Amino acid sequence: MNTIFNIKKEADFQAACLETFLYQYENVEVYRKFVDYLKIDPLKVKQVKDLPFLPIEMFKNHQVLDVNSTTENYFQSSGTTQIQTRSKHYIADFNLYEESIYRSFEKFIGKPEDYIFLGLLPNYSENPHSSLIYMVDFLMKKSGKPENGYFLYNHQELFQLLQKLGKENKKVILFGVSFALLDFLYSDDDFPTLQLQDLTVIETGGMKGRKEEMTKDELLKILQKGFGTDKIYSEYSMTELLSQAYSLGNNEYSCPKWMRILIRNTEDPFSFMEEGKTGAINIIDLANRHSCSFIATQDLGKIINNKFQVLGRIDHSDIRGCSLLVS
């Protein structure tokens, strides 16, 4: 068992962060050069707040991988154009990713074995370099239910299956990017309103550049009404991470013990915002053992009651992520 999954106390997390930082400084060339450029003495980094966070853009033009790992396997972000540079996250240990997936899902949702998994997503063979599709595919394999499947291009079949499973009182998880969930609800098929109390919908983001922008609260209300269930959840991750945060409502996300969100000042990237104040999201993901665990993203958010909200993107940052999977 990887020690990051044994974290219980704050002292455990701090120690794991500092050990990971020194390991990655020594073994991940891109990160070492970044730290040296900032003129930071790694031996003087004694607290989480002092850690240097690598700009997420580095994954676009550099191989962020420790020298002890050799792999040709990677996840790749979606892009808006054929010429856009897309992030690549090289994966040295899929077992680590899978354990992170399983433990987070079990903590926030339940045991995968108890659910049927349906996806308003492309299938794995269409997107073998998508971290999201890999995650859903892994959960389907753990579930082992014969009804599991992908239905991005077949709304009628999905509707009929949801109706059937609802009558059988089966526990169902429907994963989907936001625009695909809306497309299903408001397609030309004009389905009657679903009323499926045992259905849990997990939206994974993905409105940017595809439909008229709406707030997360507006999206959740539309999905609740359309699917006839209060269980409209959200998942937050990205190509450059191997961990997921989940929201069980109210656009408030919780992290597993080995993941943490800090909110940096957009005017001063080396200082952090107090609770309730909006800034840019920095992520610690200790499952990223073989790449970089300390990432400065281009997402905006804030911390509220030990949870975090995602509020959008920093102006002028690239359109990226789940919404482009099916373009």
Q: What is the pLDDT of residues 25-50, one digit of tens each?
A: 999 999 999 999 999 999 999 999 99
3-state helix, strand and coil shares in percent for the chain, rounded to the nearest 5? 35, 20, 45
Predicted confidence (pLDDT) per residue in 58-100, tens digit:
999 999 999 999 899 999 987 655 557 899 999 999 999 999 9
Spell out where 122-178 has E strands.
149-150, 172-176
Q: Name the band, by pLDDT with cuts 50, 70 and 90, for residue 185.
A: confident
Token output for 289: 């053992």
Contacts of 93 (CB under 8 A, 6+ apart): 69, 289, 290
- Specify the pTM: 0.91
Residue 317 has pLDDT above 60, yes or no: no
**The pLDDT of residue 325:** 41
Cα 317 to Cα 78: distance, rounded to the nearest angstrom: 14
- By C-alpha distance, which of 257, 231, 2, 238 is closest to 107? 257
Predicted confidence (pLDDT) per residue in 103-154, tens digit:
999 999 999 999 999 999 887 778 889 999 999 999 999 999 999 999 988 8
Residue 202 has pLDDT above 70, yes or no: yes
Predicted confidence (pLDDT) per residue in 271-290, tens digit:
999 999 999 999 999 999 99
Cα-only R_g, the chain = 20
Residue 190 has pLDDT above 90, yes or no: no
Residue 262 has pLDDT above 50, yes or no: yes
For the chain, what percent of residues have pLDDT higher than 70?
90
- By C-alpha distance, which of 91, 161, 88 is closest to 120? 161
Residue 320 has pLDDT above 50, yes or no: no
Residue 318 has pLDDT above 50, yes or no: no
